[in-house]
Structures are given as C-alpha cells and as structure tokens.
Amino acid sequence: VLAGYAISTFAKPGFAFVKSWTQALAIRIADRVGKGVRTSARDALLAESVDEKSLGKAFGLHRTLDQMGAILGPGLAALLISFIGTRGIFLSSFIPGLIALFVLIFFVKERKVSKRRQEGIMKDVNVVLTPNFTHYLIAVALFSIGAYSPSFVLVRSKELGISYAAIPLVYAAINVVHTVVAIPAGILSDKIGGAKTISMGYLLFSFASLTLTAMSGVNVVVIATILFGSYIGIIETVQRAVVARFGPSDLKGTAYGLYYIVVGLCSIAANIVFGLLWDAFGAKGAFMYSTVTSLIGFVAMVIFASRSSS
C-alpha cells in the first residue's frame, strides 16, 4: 500500500514540468501503476481492519471519503489556479500525497495474521479460488462485460437534449449520488447480505440502461443519472466488501487481485464492445446490449445469493 501511494505521490507533480505528450503519458502511466500496486493491498488491509459484520459499512465509508476527495480536489484546484497557476496546482498535489504517506507510516498498523508456508503464486490462487468464489467472480464477470463507462452516459445526455455547458453537472450529479448511496448500501449489505445488495445494484444499472434508450427528454437524463449514480455507489462498495469473505486472512490480497483482474479485463472489453455497438447500431442498440447483459449478471448473482450466506 505504501509503495503504491508513494509512486503516485511522487509522479503527479511531474505534470508541472512536461513538455510533450509522451512525457505526460509516462507520468500518467506511473500514476496508474501506483494505483494498481496499492488497490488490492489497500482493500485487503481494510478488510482485515474491521469485524466481518461491518465490512459493508467500512467499504462504504472508504468509498464515500474517496469520492469526497475526488469532488473537493478539483474544486479546490479551480479556486487556487488563478493564484498559483497550473504548474503550482500540480506541484501542490504533492502535499496531500505526503500527508497520506505520513499517516500510513506512523498511524496505520496491520493486524497480525498467521502466515502459511510460501508455496508459490498458483498454489495460493488455488487456495483462494474455491467453487463459491469462482461462482461469485463468474457472476461479476457476466455483469461487467456490459458495464459501460460513465462517459457514455454523458455523451447520451447530450443527444437527449442536455446542453454542452450542463454536461459537467450531469457528471457531478452522478458522483454526488454515488457518494450519498455508498454508506447506506454498505450498511444494507451487512444486514441482508452482500450478494442480494449487489443484485439490486445490477437491476438499477439495467433500469438506467433501459431509460437511456429513450428518444429524448431532460427528464430521462435526470432519472438515468439517479439510477446510474446509485448503481455505482452500491457496486463500488459492496462488490469489494463481499470479496473480503473469501480466502484465509493471509491471502486476502490474492483474492482482491483476482477480483480486480476479472473486473479490469471485463471493463476494457465492455467499453470496446459498447463503443463498437454504438457506431454500428446507435446508442439504443448499445444500451439494449448492456440491459440484457446486466440482467444475465443479475440472474447469476441472485443464484449465487441463494447458494451462499455472503
């Protein structure tokens, strides 16, 4: 976790000195590498820091704080840019990163877990990849193969009558709903089960996709924004919380690594396919594809929920 945050912290200020797109790309890649290094380990650390009965609430709190940072950060940058300029903004990004590193080093303590004998990566994967976890990952994959980026919602909003100037407000509204829903979704998952809560999220995504097949209307965008933001708030919180219930304590990082591999690969494929379908059949065809795939994922997750106590 520390290594991942350190990479991103020291990479971002480099944007202040870029003179070509290749340099900017290199820094962006370094930043993403940092995120990749820390994400699975961070979630494993979070999972081991709380009681299993409070996993949903814990991941909901993390998601809310993460989104608040994503909202407040650009807002603060917008206020400061006229005083310190673009270069100053990038250089000052080092400060919150440094504070985060300080907190990690001096205040975050890992819970001690029993260490098993090292037997190789593949054997660790086999230990984690139980039939139950495999079923869960399949259900997640079936849904994720049709889960498009919020960017497509913004493009569709423009087609449905939202002015170009108001598009950022649509994106902001999605993030606000996402932030508001995260903690309640986590608490709900602790009470009724993660898989059942995820199923609700998949269904909301289906309704959002179906809504976006409408011909026009600002009301359509408002409804879709609420549905889509709610779906993200549920899925980004609860899917991760459920992963924590699989595998022994010392292999939680492996479980999260497998989860993020599945979600990441499916996300890449989903957005490519969605874009191709949009070009070939228009927005309605693309959103109908996602409606169908998300319903398939919904059925798979409901079956998983009926067979699992997670």
DSSP 182-243: HHHHHHHHHHH-HHHHHHHHHHHHHHHHHHTTSS--HHHHHHHHHHHHHHHHHHHHHHHHHH
The top-scoring range by mean pLDDT among 18-32, 113-127, 136-150, 205-219 is 136-150
CA pair distance 154, 149, nearest whole angstrom: 9
**126 confidence band (pLDDT: 50, 70, 90):** confident
> Is residue 117's pLDDT more than 60?
no
Q: Does residue 209 register a pLDDT over 70?
A: yes
Domain residue spans of the chain: 2-106, 121-307
Q: Identify the pLDDT of residue 109.
A: 78
Are the C-beta atoms of residues 146 and 270 closer than 8 Å to each other? yes
pLDDT band, very low/low/confident/very high, at 119 (cuts 50, 70, 90):
low
Going by C-alpha positions, the residue among 240, 183, 198 that lies closest to residue 39 is 240
Confidence of residue 118 (pLDDT cuts 50, 70, 90): low
Task: Give the type of residue at 115.
Answer: K
Mean pLDDT of 221-236: 96
Which are the contacts of 42, defined by CB distance < 8 A and separation ≥ 6?
1, 4
Q: What is the pLDDT of residue 115?
A: 59
Q: pLDDT-based confidence at 114, cuts 50/70/90? A: low
Per-residue CA distances from 85 to 15, 76, 80, 89, 135 (Å): 13, 13, 7, 6, 51
Tokens of 138: 């399949």
User: What is 121-307's CATH topology?
Assistant: Growth Hormone; Chain: A; (1.20.1250)
Upper half-sphere CA count for residue 106 (Cβ side, 13 Å): 6
223, two tokens:
């409804």
Q: Which of 77-81, 93-97, 166-170 has the lowest mean pLDDT?
A: 77-81
pLDDT for the residue 73? 84
Q: What is the pLDDT of residue 224?
A: 95
pLDDT of residue 51: 87
C-alpha to C-alpha distance for 140 and 242, rounded to whole angstroms: 11
Q: What is the dihedral of CA 53, 206, 270, 165, to 10 degrees?
A: -100
